[in-house]
Amino acid sequence: MNVLKLVVLGLIVAPQGEPEFESDPPIACSACDGWNQAREPFRIYGNAYYVGTEGLSSVLITTEDGLILIDGALPQSAALIDRNIRKLGFRTEDVRFILNSHMHFDHAGGIAALARASDATVVSSPAGAKALSKGSATEDDPQFAWADTDGFPPVEDVRTVRDGETLKVGDQALTVHFTPGHTPGGTTWTWRSCEEERCVDMVYADSLSAVSAPGFRFTGDSTHPSRVDGFRETIAKVEALPCDIMVAAHPGFTKLFDNFERGSQEGGNARFIDPDSCRAYTAAARTALDKRIAEER
């Protein structure tokens, strides 16, 4: 059989020796097809690789003791992520931990299938674990009113971590930073990746956008207190993280792909080192939150 995967009657047949990837049913949304465009995987820096789609990030981190994956994008993205991992020469079955920036269908939707394929442990904040095991935004989520239509495949058995806790896998340590605001349970993850003698500070940044379903007020109402102070603390927290390379949950929110394109001229993965992009991300989030607060008032 040809090494290329064959699409037969809608089923993806894996090349010989590779397990067939079992996807969950796709979710339809106005932006979904654009977000889910396939993208070739690439090395970001050292042991960190981009394995997501054009519009939804997923990052693979390799260690001497197995793989770590951050975010699963949409249910229909999971097979693309699996394929990207294999294209890089790694195996989805070797993923030991799956982390999640936040518990919306476009970042958590593919996790259940990726966890089935790998038997990986899914790791989240306690608030995030509630949403993951339910398979939808929780009542305290600004987008809860959309939860009926924005549900995603639930994830059983989520391991919870404390804010600031470090997850150690082989020679790699990743630190979790709780970043509530966009969702109650969102997390941002940091680690160091090295190439030859240089190590850099990597940040996988949660969404920091003050987006809600109609009727929700970040400034609070009779059903819940203001979220403004907490959201500002989250933005300041992400802003203060040591950051050489940031991957945001939506890759277009930083210059990751622009810096990838620069490679053909300059070569090497130093092209991804871009602290200005880290600062621009939090500055834009603060401006957008201020605008939202002004609109609510």
Query: Which region among 71-79, 120-128, 199-207, 237-245 touches Zn ion (by CB under 5 A)?
Result: 199-207
Residue 259 has φ and ψ, to the nearest 5°, of -70, -30
Nearer to Zn ion, 13 or 284 (CB): 284
Nearer to Zn ion, 246 or 248 (CB): 248
What is the smallest separation between the CB atom of 107 and Zn ion, expressed in angstroms?
6
For position 250 contacting Zn ion by CB under 5 A, the verdict is no
What is the smallest separation between the CB atom of 80 and Zn ion, expressed in angstroms?
19
Footprint of Zn ion on 99-118 (CB under 5 A): 104
Contact 213, 145 (CB under 8 A): yes
CA 233/CA 239 separation, integer angstroms: 10
Measured at CB, which residue is nearest to Zn ion? 104
CA 150/CA 105 separation, integer angstroms: 6
Is the C-alpha dihedral spanning 121, 160, 145, 69 positive or negative? negative
200 C-beta neighbours (distance < 10 Å), count? 22
What is the smallest separation between the CB atom of 207 and Zn ion, expressed in angstroms?
5
Consecutive H or E run containing 247: strand 245-248
Nearer to Zn ion, 193 or 207 (CB): 207
Nearer to Zn ion, 41 or 142 (CB): 142
What is the smallest separation between the CB atom of 226 and Zn ion, expressed in angstroms?
20
CA 279/CA 268 separation, integer angstroms: 23
48-50 vs 59-63, strand pairing mode: antiparallel
Query: Which region among 126-134, 159-167, 200-208, 219-227 touches Zn ion (by CB under 5 A)?
Result: 200-208
Interface residues toward Zn ion, by CB under 5 A: 104, 207
